[in-house]
Structure formats: C-alpha cells, structure tokens
Amino acid sequence: MYQSTTQIRVRYAETDQMNVVYYGNYAQYFEVGRVEAIRQLGYSYKAMEEKGIILPVVEMHAKYLRSASYDELLTIVTTIQKMPTNHEIIFESEIYNENKKLLTKGTVHLYFVNKNNWKKTYMPEELEERLKAFF
C-alpha cells in the first residue's frame, strides 16, 4: 500500500452561498492529492505526459460526511491500496479538517492512455519501479 499526505487551504471562490465548500470542488481536491502523491514518489504527471501518457478519470465516487469552510486547512490523505494492473490505477482519498475530523472520502479510477491514439496503455516503467517498493 502506498499513502501520501498533502494540505490545501480552502479559498473563498471554492465556497457556495451556504458558506461551505461547493461539492464539485472535492474532485479538484482529490486531484491535488493524486498529483502530489505521484510527486512525492519522485515522479510527476508532467513527466508522464512528456512520455505521451495521460490519465483520464473513468470513474469517481465521493461520500460527503461534513462540510469545510473558507480558510480551513484541509489534509488530503491519498492511498493506492494495490499495485496498478490492467491499465488502471485507483486512488482512495480522505479529506480531514484541522480538528482531524473526516469530511469527505472518495475513490477515483483512472486509465493510463496513449495521448496520440487514446488507447489504453501501460503504466510508465519509472512510476512502476517507484511503486513496487510499497507492494
């Protein structure tokens, strides 16, 4: 299992008329967690794209438990439970507030895709090598 943690502060523009984070913004928070999880491995989405591989989201689920508000510091815990296989990588995310209360949890499925022909492809070897140490 691989797990990483990153933080993000809620910006005013991310809140709605009820003064809480608009539910659609949690997808962006999940993305921040994914990008930083890969970066913390010593690799990057940018490096993947330069190799001609992109990662479109093919499925996403979220469960909203509590609200977040403007200027709160959120902690995003991103987990890969199993080594990616069959062109797919699955990220699980949990978002906590400053009081360590779980606000939202979600799962995002992505496919490794060749950006030139939009066909499924394999995980870059560099990413695979870095992840192997955790499985």
Query: How do residues 89-127 score in pLDDT, each as one tens digit?
Result: 999 999 999 999 999 999 999 999 999 999 999 999 999
Q: How far apart are CA 8 and CA 44, in angstroms?
A: 19
Does the pLDDT at position 86 exceed 90? Answer: no
For tokens 């939202």, what's the residue? Answer: 104
Contact (CB, 8 A) for 89 and 123: yes
Where residue 85 falls among pLDDT bands split at 50, 70, 90?
confident
Average pLDDT, the chain: 97
Q: What is the CA radius of gyration of the chain?
A: 16
The predicted model scores a pTM of 0.94
Domains and CATH numbers, the chain: 2-132 (3.10.129.10)
Cα–Cα distances (Å) from 13 to 23, 25, 39, 76, in that order, read 13, 10, 26, 19
- Residue 26, Cβ density class (10 Å: 0-12 exposed, 13-18 middle, ≥19 buried): buried
**71 catalytic per annotation:** no
Q: Which of 9, 16, 46, 63 is catalytic?
A: 16
- Identify the H or E element spanning 94: strand 88-96
